[in-house]
Amino acid sequence: MNYIAASNRYDTMKYNRCGRSGLKLPAISLGLWHNFGSADVFDNSRSILLHAFDNGVTHFDLANNYGPEPGSAEETLGRVLKKDLGVYRDELVISSKAGYLMWDGPYGEWGSKKNLMASLNQSLKRMGLDYVDIFYHHRPDPETPLEETMGALDLMVRQGKALYVGLSNYTAEQTQKAESILRELGTPCLIHQPRYHIFERWVEGGLLDVLDKRGIGCIPFSPLAQGLLTDRYLKEIPEDSRMAKGHFLKESMLTDVKRKAIFELNELAQQRGQSLAQMAIAWLLSHNTVTSVLVGASSTNQLSNNLAALNNLEFSAKELEQIERISKPVWA
């Protein structure tokens, strides 16, 4: 049966302008870091992608090494585009990145023009696309001149293989320098993708100010602290959880201080009529600099729960003060 997108898909989603650009992104975007690789069930991955689009999520975020296996998340999206979503390509914003280790040898990671151009060409082939809407440099390269890395991003746009470019994991100072180079080249920096959530605040040490002053959008990843800012770890560690698998989220990360904060934040979320995950997403969206929040999902139900954060985005001054008081022992 051929997929037909929901006719009401744009009725409830909120769209925000990205920095000073003409591009708008959904308040909640879908990241394919986990649950979309070759090790995952394709039919489930496809269902999540289609459910997202049916609910107004027009932005799908990837990187060359997402999987496992590395590259397979892009292949999964490519299959779904070919089968279902390709006819809606002009309604989608698809992004990818390069910078982390992807293949063997001296050109398989970091920020050389050699690596970035090869990575983009490989990503386009895996997804079956002529261009991506956004291409990011995934992490700063301490050895390659910044001019070379930014020059590669500029070249991608001039070749028509990317419409916009962005940065990820750059500090405030690095972002400021990179943005200046890109502006001089004539390809402005559209967006920055940092790790940012209630328990991790490094972006508040100058990066958000740089983004605001330079007119750059912000799309935080890991808004739920890899699942800590949910109700999953209130009692025990579920056997099917990321923490039980111990790959990215270690049991040692769930300290007594953090556990206490999670309980108190969960109580506040319940008072607001939200799940803890919904409140964590809404809290990020309460920042003017934040364009969109990048969520992951292992099921359509989980995605629906995250999307319901949009039902209550308002915080009182007292609630914001409570979040600061509760979370400060974790991040201060």
Residue at 277 is within a domain: no
pTM for the predicted model, two decimal places = 0.94
3-state secondary structure of 214: helix
Number of domains in the chain: 1
Residues 275-304 have a mean pLDDT of 97
Nearest to 292 by CA among 74, 15, 4: 15
Q: Give me the chain's average pLDDT, please.
A: 95
Using the predicted structure, report yes or no on whether residue 252 has a pLDDT greater than 80. no
Residues 84-113 have a mean pLDDT of 98
Burial of 5 (0-12, 13-18, 19+ CB in 10 A): middle
Using the predicted structure, report yes or no on whether residue 156 has a pLDDT greater than 90. yes
At 137, which helix (H) or strand (E)?
strand 132-137
Using the predicted structure, report yes or no on whether residue 102 has a pLDDT greater than 60. yes
Residue at 254 is within a domain: no
Nearest to 219 by CA among 18, 9, 14: 18
Angstrom CA distances, 224 to 17, 26, 85, 121, 229, stand at 23, 18, 28, 32, 5
**Which residues contact residue 86 at a Cβ distance below 8 angstroms, ignoring those fewer than 6 apart?**
128
Residues 31-50 have a mean pLDDT of 98
Strands 217-218 and 293-295: what pairing?
Answer: unpaired
Q: Which residues pair with 61 in a beta bridge?
A: 31, 95
Instruction: Output the six-digit token pair for 17.
Output: 């302008």
If you ran DSSP here, which 8-state letter would residue 298 be given? S
Using the predicted structure, report yes or no on whether residue 243 has a pLDDT greater than 60. no
Confidence (pLDDT) at 236: 61
Confidence (pLDDT) at 248: 59
3-state secondary structure of 243: helix
Residue at 131 is within a domain: yes
Phi, psi for residue 60 in degrees, rounded to 5: -115, 125
Range(s) of the domain holding residue 93: 15-233+284-314
Residue at 217 is within a domain: yes
CA pseudo-torsion sign 238, 241, 247, 249: negative
What pLDDT digit, counting tens, does each position of 186-211 carry?
999 999 999 999 999 999 999 999 99
- Band of pLDDT at residue 234, cut at 50, 70 and 90: confident
Residue at 126 is within a domain: yes
* C-alpha span between 166 and 134 (Å, rounded): 7
Angstrom CA distances, 204 to 105, 108, 183, 201, 285, stand at 36, 32, 24, 6, 14
Residue at 291 is within a domain: yes
Residues 148-156 have a mean pLDDT of 98
Confidence (pLDDT) at 193: 98
Residues 269-298 have a mean pLDDT of 97
Using the predicted structure, report yes or no on whether residue 164 has a pLDDT greater than 90. yes
Provide the percentage of residues in the chain whose pLDDT is more than 70: 95
Residue type, 48: I
Residues 111-121 have a mean pLDDT of 98
Burial of 250 (0-12, 13-18, 19+ CB in 10 A): exposed
Nearest to 65 by CA among 32, 89, 41: 32
CATH number where 66 lies = 3.20.20.100
* C-alpha span between 61 and 32 (Å, rounded): 6
Confidence (pLDDT) at 232: 85
Least confident range from 4-13, 53-62, 109-118, 249-258: namely 249-258
Confidence (pLDDT) at 244: 46
3-state secondary structure of 35: coil
At 183, which helix (H) or strand (E)?
helix 172-185
Residue at 129 is within a domain: yes
Residue at 7 is within a domain: no
